[in-house]
Structure 1
């Protein structure tokens, strides 16, 4: 019903999704002693930089490992310390770009009013780049997974959506596109919950006491003036303009957010596929035909014939698309005003044409996110 994952903690998201970082406050030479996997052999009680005492390992991934540590320089508070594998020149360049973004976020938002994760420090240690972050709770995906993929209630969904849109609008306002938004990259600040009975599903359900979130993973974030990779975003949250190689900008983040909100609402992924043609076929089943302008200007003409998407109805893939996809309106759980407002917002976020897709500054003024009397949608500060 949901995507598979190997870890329960939010640090899995940092370990697997925050791209490797680099740069340093001090030069250090590589030392022997790393494990065969490339991770340094730190254990409980070890101390780094004479301030970070290791408590336990929170996760390991392709780029390194994440440790829970007590930071003596911050009064013994818990932090998440990401330790990267030793990287080559190319990887270190990527790391410097990520840290540049994180430093600008911290500099422009020292009080952490924007719901983005805060980088606290970074340094070299024994040849490894290390980045410390505020310690957060589970990702929105992992909480939903542990809750048997039950949907978030609409009140919680609205609060989470307001924060996500506010955080990413802040990035867009400052000429930055996140490019890898997904439920695993949105983490709860606190993990406390209580149990209640879900009368509709006839089962117990976890309900969070606080739905404050933070957006994480700026390893793929791209400024407008930087090179734009052909392919961005995790498959399930990838916008049509990316698949069709039409170029992308801020609107691709908006599409990803629309997919995320659907997943929160429904408890399942909107596009459960790993194939471009199948992905496009799913889009047509859900949203209608792809606009001719996008087809005609796409670099991926192999997916089309006579100006239309090639049909795969008789194939296993085609049957999967027909069985799994239905128009958005058929997925809405109620005809009440707030559910219809949510549908309207989703449709505007999942508009094919990037130029016609709602901006996040407008989304924050949408009736679903900004009911009468709401203060949502304040101006975001600039990077300077």
Structure 2
């Protein structure tokens, strides 16, 4: 992999009018980047830290390297020009290099970083180009109904391989969701991307808004210490969404997320509530849940105390059909569905210390022969 460090003060060299008011580079299709090495073809989208474009390689640099094939497509992540975003970019480069170096044979489903350069005050990260993300896969092939179990199983196996490498390297991705998982042209190969929120597990800063809300683990919302287990939770939510086409916890806020989690998994333990940094935002002195709801008449937020004990709508009741339907299912089909439910249960344990590990997941009956 070729890594060229951007100029230290590149952020200060921004050219007038090349950026919008938020510091995103105004990308033009057909624009030539990195001294004629790449040509922009289309813009793929914007994120919090950057914009991403697809480009083609115009000239080879080096000898017979995969990334130097003329005409090959690549993805280029153009970091916003603000100094804080530049720091995020440098960190992402370091993490991707660490993960790629730990996976020289490219078998762990982490997107490959190929090159880094500077363009008009913007750090640019060049990675392999994939076809679409899993959000688009769901929309195109499984909207409201989900994908078939065979595809979900194959995808789950690849995702847990990626998590196994991250755990080995002590890296927390901190934003796993369908949008940040890329699929190949034939939809058979996945790569986890967008490590802009990632960090070493030892650096975990307590903040209630880490990870996109629907995929946010309870320990993040509560303000408890966290580690790589938050990515296991996110993958569990993602797999449910792949299979059903629906979001597992579509909370309107952190408070609503906790309510939906407890309706599915039961009450969060008093031990964890007592240790929570943000306890008072969600629980009273008796450790009962304070649900923040909207008054239907006034539209104002009102607090309502709820006593929650057992789950009212668990994963099994959502995913396993009634007995009359089960009788019509093939034995292997029902067995695999029950294994899938068990895996999701283990991914979404409220107590992070009891959550399944990537290695355990790869040995789980649902994936053991994948």
Fold shared, TM-score > 0.5 on shorter chain: yes
* Match 2:116 to one of 122, 126, 137: 122
Alignment check: 8 A CA contact 1:177 1:221 kept: yes
Q: Map 1:200-239; keep pairs closer than 5 Å.
A: 210-231=187-208, 232-239=210-217
1:240 matched to which residue of 2? 218
Q: Distance in 1 between matches of 2:33 and 2:27?
A: 9
Shift of 1:283: 1.3
Q: Map 1:156-235; keep pairs closer than 5 Å.
A: 156-190=151-185, 192=186, 210-231=187-208, 232-235=210-213
User: In the TM superposition, what whole-angstrom CA distance separates every residue of 1:312-357 from its partner, at most 9, and x where no partner exists?
Assistant: 7996698xxx9xx721111114451110001111111111111111
1:30 matched to which residue of 2? 14
* Match 2:269 to one of 250, 267, 291: 291
SS of 2:234's equivalent in the other structure is: helix
Shift of 1:369: 0.9
Q: Map 1:350-369; keep pairs closer than 5 Å.
A: 350-369=348-367
Shift of 1:45: 3.2
Q: Distance in 1 between matches of 2:343 and 2:95?
A: 29
TM-score, with normalisation over the residues of structure 2?
Answer: 0.81
- Cα distance 1:124–1:229, how it changes in 2: closer, same or farther (>3 A)? farther
- Cα distance 1:35–1:58, how it changes in 2: closer, same or farther (>3 A)? same
Alignment check: 8 A CA contact 1:162 1:369 kept: yes
The unaligned stretches of length 5 or more in structure 2 are 61-67, 327-333
Shift of 1:23: 4.9
* Match 1:139 to one of 125, 130, 133: 133
Q: Distance in 1 between matches of 2:275 and 2:76?
A: 45
1:45 matched to which residue of 2? 30
TM-score, with normalisation over the residues of structure 1?
Answer: 0.78
Shift of 1:211: 2.4
Alignment check: 8 A CA contact 1:55 1:69 kept: yes
SS of 1:269's equivalent in the other structure is: coil
Number of equivalent positions: 327
Backbone CA RMSD of aligned residues = 2.5
Shift of 1:220: 1.1
- Cα distance 1:44–1:292, how it changes in 2: closer, same or farther (>3 A)? closer
Q: Which moved more, 1:307-316 or 1:56-65?
A: 307-316
1:378 matched to which residue of 2? none
Shift of 1:311: 5.5
The unaligned stretches of length 5 or more in structure 1 are 1-21, 193-209, 375-384
